[in-house]
Each structure stands twice: as C-alpha cells, then as structure tokens.
Amino acid sequence: MNNLRGDIAPLVSVCPLTYNHAKYFSQAIESILSQQTDFDFEIIVGEDESSDGTRELALDFQRRFPDKIKILLHSRKDVIYVNGRPTGRWNFVDTISHARGKYIALLPCDDFWTDTNKLQKQVNVLETHPEYSVCGHWVVNVDANGNTLDSTNSLGRQCPEIFTERMALTGTPLHPNSWVFRRFDLAAHPQYRMFLKLPAGDDPLMLLLLGLGNGYCIKESMSAYRLHSGGTWSTKAPYQKDFEMLQFRLAALRLIGWRNIPQSLKIIYKSVFKLWSGSGQLAINTRSFVPINGLFKLFVLQETISVFGLMTLLFAGAVLVPASVAKQFGRKIINRLRAVKGDLL
C-alpha cells in the first residue's frame, strides 16, 4: 500500500529526526521498516543539513523506499538557538507538521527500536483507550556500538502504568523514543512560543500531551537509548543541565495553568537549591569561577525567565546555598588573598 501517494492517510506517522547521525542512521531507519503492523504507516525523516553524510544516507533510503519514506531537507540557517546553543527544535516542529497520521511516533536517529511489534502494541492501546493521549514503554541503555549496558535498569521502570501530568512536572517519565501520541496542532497551542524557547523539547511536550489526556506505559523494553560522546545532553556541564531543568520547571507553571501549583513550587524550590549549591560546590572543587561565569552567561542568554524572575532566583540562590558551601568558598577566597598579599610583601 502506498503511504506517500493518494488521498488515504496512514494511521501512524513515524518521525525520525537526525543531525550528524551517519554512524547510527541506518540502524534507526531499518528498525522502523522492520515493524510488523496490520495498519499503514509513513516515515517522515527530518534531516537538519548534516555534514557527515547523513543526508546522503537518508536520500538513499528514500530512493529505495519511495512509497514509504519522505525526507524533509532542512537548512542550518533555520536552526533555533536556545541559551546560545543551536537546537533541533525547528527540525522537530516542521517535521511533525507534515505528519498525516492519526498518531505520531518519534525516534532520534542515534537511537533505535528493538521490538518489531512496538508500533502495533502501542496503537492497540490508543485505539481501545481514547482517554489516553500518549503511550510509551521502557527503554534500555546501550553503548555507542549498540550493546546493552544493563537490561535490569531500563529507563521508565519507575513510571506507573497510567500516568498524569503531575508525574511529569520534574521531567518526562518516559524517553521520547518510546512515544506514540495523538496528533494535535502544536503550533496553535497558546504556549507554542515558549515551547520553542525551552532548551529541551521532550519535557514540555509531554506536559502538553498530558494536558490532553493521561498517558499509558507498556511495561516492556522496546527501544534503545544510545549513550555516546556526541549526545546533546551528555556533553553539557552539570550547571547547564541544572539550569535547563530549572527553566523547564518554571515554564511548567504556564504550560499546565494553575493545576498542581503547590507541587510545582516545591519542585522549583528544590531546583533552585540544586542549581546554586551544585554550581558553588563545582567552583570550589575545580578551583575555578568557570561554573559561576557559565551560569551567569546562561542567565543572560535565556529567553524564558523574566527579569523579575531572574532577580528572585538570584536572591533565592543567596539564601539557599548551603552554609558549608559558602564557608568553603569564602575560605578559598581568603587563602587566595593571603597568598597574593604574601607575594607582594
């Protein structure tokens, strides 16, 4: 059956997103093509102008499977920058905007699916339970070569079978390469512009989805998350990760409206504490102001926290940094001043 021709839309649109994934791209696409389903699905690849040969691989797959695969050739000039760093946000939003299916499935192309019945199982859940907006599952960690690291420690094992937005306030409970969700008009959402400015797209997207209905977790591992040196999250410094999670948790107040406010405020308090104490401790351990300087640079570059919010966070940081960290930091400064004084005498 032809997916990309005619007037009959497929039931599922699989949207693999890729940028410089030449080493992993084929495995990702082949894991989609191997899916055994009793329904039609299309594959829409969002290619973000890779420089390592990924684009050529994608076009080759399209030539081999013209009725199944469509390639969207994006340009780096359209990249959306968040916190001063390029992101794949435009690649994502434009790719899913071309989806015609009732459901959308995601797959970053450095990951891959491990169960050939994955899509069928998830669609069965969503078709029989219209109250669910998204269905996910457990995900195993693998190394750069695709070898399983620990099958007993799959991502998502702590997620209950049925989960709500309350359980996603600290971040998505399931890895996005496991998601199949009901297609909706993301660009029409009132918080679409905020979504574009947040550093990570999966956490806010999960909150938006759970605002439309509960989520369902299949307690099986059916995909793999690849840990490698080129991963966008793993290459960030600890203070960057903490700051970006704080950005999301502050944005969650607007993404979900006035629901779960007490829990949200408690989470934000803990995030502020972790950000400042962690950055201070890292500065002490490394005997460097780099973490502090980097943190203030992020404050300047970000676009999601208001000036009032920034001042509040700065004040909260001064109050929340543990006394032991402040004491150690002060001692280091005093010792350095004494050393400088001794050199001058």
Shared domain check, 150 and 49: yes
55 within a domain of the structure (yes/no): yes
Q: What is the pLDDT of residue 1?
A: 42
Q: For every residue of 155-194, which 3-state class applies, written as one string? A: ECCCCCCEECHHHHCCCCCCCHHHCEEECCCHHHCCCHHH
Residue 247 and residue 203 in one domain: no
Amino acid at 307: V
Q: What is the pLDDT of residue 323?
A: 57
For the segment 59-85, the average pLDDT, to the nearest whole number, is 95
Q: Which of 18-32, 40-54, 134-148, 273-287 has the weakest average pLDDT? A: 273-287
- The answer as to whether 308 is a domain residue is yes
Residues 218, 242, single domain; the answer is no
Q: Which residues constitute the domain of residue 190? A: 12-226
In a domain, 7, yes or no: no
Q: State which of 226, 261, 288 marks the end of a domain.
A: 226
- Same domain for 264 and 216: no
Average pLDDT, integer, range 186-208: 92
Q: Evaluate whether residue 6 is within a structural domain.
A: no
Helices (H), the chain: 25-33, 54-64, 89-97, 118-128, 192-197, 202-210, 238-255, 261-286, 290-301, 307-320, 323-344
What percent of the chain lies above the pLDDT cut of 90?
A: 57
Between 26-35, 59-68, 209-218, 255-264, the lowest mean confidence (pLDDT) is in 255-264
Q: Is the pLDDT of residue 221 over 80?
A: yes
Least confident of 110-114, 146-150, 156-160, 275-279: 275-279
**The domain that contains 60 carries what CATH number?**
3.90.550.10
Q: Which residue carries 């109050």 as its tokens?
A: 319
Domain shared by 103 and 164, yes or no: yes
| 222 & 243 share domain | no
Of 98-102, 211-215, 268-272, give the lowest mean pLDDT range.
Answer: 268-272
Of 195, 226, 257, the domain-final residue: 226
**Does residue 345 belong to any structural domain of this protein?**
no
Give the pLDDT score at 97. Answer: 96
CA angle 266/268/269 to nearest 5° reads 65
Please check the confidence at residue 236 and state whether its pLDDT lies above 80. Answer: no
Is the domain of 83 the same as that of 118?
Answer: yes
Which one of 201, 226, 251 terminates a domain?
A: 226
Residues 37-49: what's their mean pLDDT? 98
Residue 199 lies in a domain: yes
Which pLDDT score, from 0 to 100, does residue 218 have? 98
Considering only residues 260 and 23, tell me which one the structure prediction assigns the higher pLDDT: 23
Domain count, the chain: 2
Say whether both 257 and 211 belong to one domain. no
Average pLDDT of 197-214?
93
Mean pLDDT for 203-212 is: 94
Arithmetic mean of pLDDT over the chain: 87
42 and 142 co-located in one domain: yes
pLDDT of 332 reads 72
Asked, for residue 20, whether it belongs to a domain, the answer is yes
User: What length does the chain have?
Assistant: 345
Question: Is residue 26 domain-shared with residue 96, that is, in the same domain?
Answer: yes
Residue with tokens 């999250």: 233
The pair phi, psi for residue 73, each rounded to 5°, is -95, 95
Contact by Cβ (8 Å): 182, 210: no
Q: Is position 119 within any domain? A: yes
The Cα-based distances of 62 to 45, 65, 149, 320 in angstroms read: 9, 5, 32, 54
Report in angstroms the alpha-carbon separations of 57 from 24, 64, 132. 10, 11, 36
CB 177 within 8 A of CB 154: no
Instruction: Report DSSP state, residue 149.
Output: S
**CB 224 within 8 Å of CB 164:** no
Residues 201 and 246 in one domain: no
